Amino acid sequence: MNPLGTHFQVWVGSWDPEEIRPAAEKAAAIGYDFLELPVRAPETVDGEAIARILEANGMFCTTSFIHTPDTDIASEDADIVAKGEALMYEALAKARDMGSTRLVGGFHSSLKKHDTARTPAGRQNAVDVLRRVAERAREMGIVMCLEPLNRYESNLINTGGQALEMIDEIGSDNMFVHLDSFHMNIEEASPANALRECGDRLGYVHLAENFRGYLGTGTIDFPAIFKALAEINYDGPIALEVFSAAVVDPAHSARLAIWREVWSDSEDMAGHAFKFMRDGVEAARG
């Protein structure tokens, strides 16, 4: 059975350990194995306090990371790229403090709606930085998983095929693909085939409906996704990534265009999703 987790913003938008504690307690009570904690400003995170909370609840965590334009490693500006590389080492150190063994997400570039296409020089900068960061991560016992984002959030990596291509150029066996049903729904001809194409190079999965509401109430073909995961014998983590204006992280909600209160009860949403994911995985395994 895959470890099942929830993004912390299903529960809370703040890094205050006293707000994360009840989220961890409620998620653990439902049966979740891990929380996904998005490190956006490493200096604001009390890694040891988070680690103690997780341990007290028998949970582990994964860490997600993205860049803003001022630390965009796919920029042509050497200063911005250097800032981005330095911030990734800080994020890795914070992930290690929290006991995380995976750095996941769209860390290949800045998350925003871009006005122009990427340049080959900018793309090469990202490849060169990620080669060094992947090596540092390995020394720290952290696996990296690169996430394609939809066209409104990235102009660099939109599909699983593009992620595989970039990872080949990075040339690290510590870099895997992270696929997300929300982004695949926009960019992939077939999400199930995108998962199959990754095979044993898939390292992380985000599940969300097409509108980030309750799983199974939208247009995503989840049975096909669970079947593809079973076919490639994927045994890695699967994380629920749904957002609602009911839970706000000021630094992130606007960037992801979370304008509507698609759901309002975190516990109910997470409880429903846990059963949905567990039953879906079990049914596909037969």
Sequence-separated (6 or more) residues with CB below 8 Å from residue 114 = 154, 155
Q: Is 212 in the site for Mn ion (CB under 5 A)?
A: no
110 beta partners? 67
Q: Which stretch binds Mn ion (CB under 5 A): 26-34, 128-136, 199-207, 277-285?
A: 199-207
What secondary structure letter does DSSP report for 155?
S
Closer residue to Mn ion (CB): 93 or 186? 186
According to CB under 5 A, which residues from 215 to 244 bind Mn ion? 241
Q: How many residues bind Mn ion (CB under 5 A)?
A: 3
Q: Is 187 in the site for Mn ion (CB under 5 A)?
A: no
According to CB under 5 A, which residues from 105 to 164 bind Mn ion? none
For β-strands 238-240 and 202-207, DSSP reports them as parallel
Closer residue to Mn ion (CB): 96 or 206? 206
Name the nearest CA neighbour of 36 among 126, 147, 121, 129: 147
| Catalytic choice (36, 188, 209, 241) | 241
Q: Is 180 in the site for Mn ion (CB under 5 A)?
A: yes
Closest contact distance (angstroms) between CB of 286 and Mn ion is: 28
According to CB under 5 A, which residues from 2 to 61 bind Mn ion? none
SS3 category, 146: strand
Closer residue to Mn ion (CB): 180 or 209? 180
Decide if 209 contacts 233 (C-beta within 8 A). no
Q: Is 206 in the site for Mn ion (CB under 5 A)?
A: yes
Closer residue to Mn ion (CB): 26 or 212? 212
Decide if 221 contacts 210 (C-beta within 8 A). no
Q: Is 187 a catalytic residue?
A: no
Backbone phi and psi for residue 3, each to the nearest 5 degrees, phi listed first:
-60, 135
Q: Which stretch binds Mn ion (CB under 5 A): 157-165, 203-211, 218-226, 264-272?
A: 203-211
What secondary structure letter does DSSP report for 203?
E
User: Mask: binding to Mn ion, 238-277, rule CB under 5 A, as x and -?
Assistant: ---x------------------------------------
Residue matched to tokens 């200096």 = 43
Give per-residue burial for 224-247: e unless 16+ CB within 10 Å, then b: ebbbbbbeeebebbbbbbbbbebb
| Catalytic choice (36, 85, 147, 209) | 147
Q: Is 231 a catalytic residue?
A: no
Closest contact distance (angstroms) between CB of 241 and Mn ion is: 5
Closer residue to Mn ion (CB): 180 or 187? 180
Q: Is 72 in the site for Mn ion (CB under 5 A)?
A: no
Decide if 222 contacts 278 (C-beta within 8 A). no
Q: Where are the beta strands (DSSP E) in the chain?
A: 4-7, 34-38, 60-64, 102-105, 143-146, 175-180, 202-207, 238-240
Residues acting as catalytic residues: 147, 241
Contact set with Mn ion (CB under 5 A): 180, 206, 241
